[in-house]
Structure 1
């Protein structure tokens, strides 16, 4: 068998020649498109590269890269047999895929071959590597490698990388900076310090590994290494490309992360000639940006306003606003999120109805409410005893939702068997991801940190992204059928082959009648409760306010999440790092004010050109209540009065006076954007309305989009211990 293997390899060695270098490494620019499939959103550049000679490269970079990627480089023949055997055994055992590529093999793969993952390509790579090291010196191979390898941030080669990370030419790199650039080659996304605290910590570990390797190999002074190991070098603020300005940088980063999740490689994304078709509507992106500019208060630089709009029935993310310009900060608040406060309550209401309670069933409205474990929750307001407003000991769930009564939702949670777990399950089915503790960083699109089955779960203390809140509400708008949120419709490679296509899938999260009941209660929030400012939309709408507090009992975020039958939108206001107090900074800070007005300003633009659609009527589902004592309140009968004797002479009776009902006048609408015949759900809308996504607009000040709301706001709070 050994003789046959040697003979076979000899035949391959003779048959395979060193091919001509790939033209630009056989890479082509990957383009990203809006939902219309025609309008280009942006692109991933492939060759941000400026080749330099071996002598122009600092010795610290050469030594650091060898220590990081291939410590036997100067003595091996282009292959590492021990590494190949070790990787083969590991892969055969089903462990994580390991490679055994030397610097020569990596260079061959990039310059001469393809990124195909197959044993045939690996065999060809090995043969070409053996031949190349006979044709070129080690210095030539290392020079070529350092001019072609990808360092992240769109930079190919050491010269472009030096500018991308440290804003200087490669010849001026220090030992610390050289070790950083050698470190990021292994995983440019994970080891980019700009991607968050966890990434920076991972980079530090890899950086120390590289420096230790240099010291053990004798290519760096041990004393200098010990000093350099203590901390990473300073990273200057490098001006991003103007193509990433506004919201485009966030869109491209979101799409790139999603492509990586779908198992596309960095090199395919940056140079594989892909055509990526997204769900983003240009009109929806403009609506989010312009709505925020119209409604948010002016002159508050630390205020971040996040918006996300999801289409019910499909889960397509149509538009968002990340909180600021990408060039100012790369933190996307639409996916980072915050504590949703009482805007989480509809998930508890859905769980309660699903458990057998009805909208008319009653719960504790007086404040405070004490849990079995001793924790207490109170309603907003001082009340007669200074412990929150009282609403009576029998308040139905319509009124509790309308006025966002904390104690009623606490009572509901305790009255559902395994209430916290059932509420968590319901939120998850509707579209809120569970807490995935393996995910770190500030991207919370697929995790909800802190979301646990605790007694106060209904009051929204976990971290949830606006994208996921919008999607969960979209499930209710869609009659209880959920669809996973997504942002990529399809991906086509350079040969025209469709590599990925999204398939919309709907799962029944909540019975249609039950969803109609939850939706009805949320419509009352707009018609009669804390979300009255949303009446300015001028069409049927449902939603819920949220005002969350942190551990110091200070308001940390303010929300309004709502929907029409065609679109669901979430709005979140936070300050600074996301957990700083809004009190004394944003006044008023309630979700009933700025967030609701912002939602209205955004939705006016989203609904422009779409027909007015009605919600289904409530079904008033009444199941088998799992606990007694919550029957609808029935007022006692009035005392019967003795009729007065009738007179013989009759006079014409007047028509009975009707009891005044709730006012029918809606708040006056503020002027909206110009009307358009192109709706946001039309896939060809973007190409018909070529207004630039990031074009400047003139806002109307603090009152923009809010028109006439007048309901008293409720400051929804978390449970607290006394």
Structure 2
């Protein structure tokens, strides 16, 4: 009975064990539903493909392939800057195409071309997913047939719909046309760069010969550029030439694998680049227009908005930030101020709108037809204009405008009287302890060298501050430094401006001061619209706090003194509130002789516009040459400041006069003692005069003085300040030595002038960013 009872209990518990089976049954029903839906979906998808397959026709290459040039507009969105050259295209028969070209293109673009069905399903899915994500680069089709179809449907649309359409046409095409016909159409329509569509136009453009006369090396070169006509164009620089040669060697290796050429032929053809035809630029690109269009094209490619073939033939409308008025102001000012007859003299300038980073105008230098170097992008050593970033870094570190630094010359970086040093002038001029207003106004190198060493991790901190404000990071130099600053390394002399920075970036970074410390990314392309009206790109202005508003106000105040009474008084001809900085950079002599002036600058701004002007000299080898002895005045306070004032006066004509905020006199906790704004001795004054920041101030006279001659002709300089490093005469009020004495209307000899020779002191440094044994620079 006991066993029976147990058995019954077991049987009684049996039905409970059927529940998992019920659950499995439910899962089977759900699975069946999904399978059914999947089958239905597949059938519907197949039906849709069949319908699309029948509905979509193969485009006629002679009718549908109608490229339209891209139009580029000024910021007003109405006035056209120019167009990219209309496509050059001549159709030739398959029999007239050299076999080297056919084999080279297949080896480069689609080695399975002769056997594949015309489409690559994996490639289609991969490209569609990548393009749907957006971003910088767009992936294209993988087979030659798909590429050919994409060309025929040359539109800027990037969608799954177009990918499906291209795949269907590619499959249809592979069934209706022979491989020879497809390759013929492809080679007659594919883009080879330099405005050339099709192999015949490419042969004429790149080599000046008809396609039938192309040799192996030339054929492989053209096959290589299809993948990326910009990257593999040797005209764009040495790196591009190396890239093309490497690409050619890979294509030749592919031709060997395909059994089309021997290894010996590949080795000989890949040993060097072919000689390219030197064609002249289109006359419509003359003057500054060519520089503007070249910049726009580079940015379109960098942003991934369009491929080069779409830029040249996709019918885009590109709306830029450039103002016709400001562009003209840049060009006219340079032509008015620059001296005549100096063929090696190059000038670059740029104007940027504070708060947005919009490039409103620039001057790239010589006519684009004569040289394609854009000096507004190439730049040069910036000299003392870099001190503005050091000033911002110093205040942010805890110093104030009134704190004093060593103005004596030379200043030794190690503080021991040996090693690398900075001087204010070749012969050395002592200013004694000076505050940061005075040091900026008179561009005193030794004081800024002292400031650099007094900031914790000074060189690194100054560079980091400059980067935040808009100066690009260090990078390998070239003729286009839009996104890099060669030589911007953490060396002692960094505040004196040994790095190379492009005028466009100096203008944008100074614009951050004008915008209350808020930095914006520099940009030139505002919006791009495709041929079908689709907006392909729209820039969104974003600002970030680079420095505080109060620090920006203090930097601006110091830079205003440069214009009012310092090294940049020529800029005061603008006739409205302005702040700026002169810069006269020096570089090491290549012959072991005296260092030379490598560049002269003035960078300044109003609340509405920030502009940088650079004068450089370049010899036939492209290396910098001396401005001193070449220009009648090689300092930043001469031609650059005058050009800046003329430029800004025209650019701001009709704009309201705006003022800067007053200085905040930010005064944090100084990271190092010994910089307090206090005198080392009490000035000696005569009679009832009392010490002040101007050394001596007389009480209001009770009667007309018996003598009114200026003290400048008879004043006796005060004694040289004591050698205490960071303190000296009373705090300066940023008043430069002029013909007007602080003791005007006081009888001669009764009040000594401040010890201040005035004028000298600029930024410099050796050209490669190293700390030279002597870092001297002449006046700004």
- What TM-score range do you get, normalising by the shorter chain? 0.7 to 0.9
Contact 2:381 2:499 in 1 (8 A): yes
Aligned residue number for residue 682 of structure 2: 637
Residue 334 of structure 1 deviates from its aligned partner by: 0.8
Contact 1:278 1:489 in 2 (8 A): yes
1:447 pairs with 2:484:
yes
Aligned residue number for residue 349 of structure 1: 391
Aligned residue number for residue 300 of structure 1: 342
Residue 368 of structure 1 deviates from its aligned partner by: 2.1
1:405 pairs with 2:444:
yes
Aligned residue number for residue 370 of structure 2: 328
- Residues 106-125 of structure 1 aligned to structure 2 (within 5 Å): 106-112=147-153, 116-125=157-166
> Take 1:482 and 1:221, find their aligned partners in 2: how far apart are those partners?
58
Contact 2:495 2:763 in 1 (8 A): no
1:258 pairs with 2:299:
yes
Of structures 1 and 2, the one scoring higher in RCO (CA 8 A, sep 6+) is 1
1:154 pairs with 2:195:
yes
Residue 282 of structure 1 deviates from its aligned partner by: 1.0
Residue 184 of structure 1 deviates from its aligned partner by: 0.7
> Take 1:92 and 1:662, find their aligned partners in 2: how far apart are those partners?
62
Cα gap change, 1:653 to 1:520, in 2 (>3 Å): closer
Aligned residue number for residue 592 of structure 2: none
Residue 120 of structure 1 deviates from its aligned partner by: 4.9
> Which one of the candidate residues 502, 512, 534 is aligned to 1:465?
502
Cα gap change, 1:376 to 1:546, in 2 (>3 Å): same
Contact 1:590 1:713 in 2 (8 A): no
Residue 319 of structure 1 deviates from its aligned partner by: 0.6
| CA root-mean-square deviation | 3.4
Aligned residue number for residue 269 of structure 2: 228
Aligned residue number for residue 635 of structure 2: 590
Aligned residue number for residue 617 of structure 2: 575
Aligned residue number for residue 213 of structure 1: 254
Contact 1:64 1:210 in 2 (8 A): yes
Which is further off, 239-248 or 104-113? 104-113
- SS in structure 2 opposite 1:585? coil
Aligned residue number for residue 622 of structure 1: 667
> Which one of the candidate residues 63, 68, 71 is aligned to 2:103?
63
> Take 1:406 and 1:665, find their aligned partners in 2: how far apart are those partners?
24
> Take 1:619 and 1:663, find their aligned partners in 2: how far apart are those partners?
25
Number of residue-to-residue matches in the alignment: 664
- Residues 438-587 of structure 1 aligned to structure 2 (within 5 Å): 442-552=479-589, 553-576=595-618, 577-587=622-632
1:19 pairs with 2:66:
no
TM-score of the two chains, using structure 2 as the length reference: 0.78
> Which one of the candidate residues 298, 322, 328 is aligned to 1:280?
322
Cα gap change, 1:10 to 1:579, in 2 (>3 Å): farther
Gaps of 5+ in 2: 1-34, 590-594, 689-700, 712-734, 741-756, 766-770, 775-780
Residue 167 of structure 1 deviates from its aligned partner by: 3.0
Aligned residue number for residue 44 of structure 1: 84
Cα gap change, 1:611 to 1:128, in 2 (>3 Å): closer
Cα gap change, 1:4 to 1:512, in 2 (>3 Å): closer
Cα gap change, 1:5 to 1:435, in 2 (>3 Å): farther
1:239 pairs with 2:280:
yes
1:249 pairs with 2:259:
no
Residue 252 of structure 1 deviates from its aligned partner by: 1.3
Aligned residue number for residue 290 of structure 1: 332
What are the Cα deviations for residues 323-356 of structure 1, in whole angstroms up to 9, with x where unaligned?
A: 1111111121111212211110000001111222
Cα gap change, 1:263 to 1:106, in 2 (>3 Å): same
What are the Cα deviations for residues 374-432 of structure 1, in whole angstroms up to 9, with x where unaligned?
A: 7522224233xxxx32222x111112112211111111111112222321222122111
Contact 1:592 1:713 in 2 (8 A): no
Residue 237 of structure 1 deviates from its aligned partner by: 1.9
> Which one of the candidate residues 452, 458, 461 is aligned to 1:419?
458
Contact 2:128 2:160 in 1 (8 A): no
Greater gyration radius: 2
Residue 173 of structure 1 deviates from its aligned partner by: 2.3
> Which one of the candidate residues 311, 314, 335 is aligned to 1:269?
311
> Take 2:258 and 2:637, find their aligned partners in 1: how far apart are those partners?
64
Cα gap change, 1:490 to 1:89, in 2 (>3 Å): closer
TM-score of the two chains, using structure 1 as the length reference: 0.84
Contact 2:424 2:760 in 1 (8 A): no
Contact 2:444 2:762 in 1 (8 A): no
Cα gap change, 1:94 to 1:159, in 2 (>3 Å): closer
Aligned residue number for residue 228 of structure 2: 187
> Which one of the candidate residues 362, 375, 380 is aligned to 1:338?
380
Aligned residue number for residue 751 of structure 2: none
Residue 471 of structure 1 deviates from its aligned partner by: 0.8
Aligned residue number for residue 646 of structure 1: none
Gaps of 5+ in 1: 644-651, 667-709
> Take 1:484 and 1:112, find their aligned partners in 2: how far apart are those partners?
35
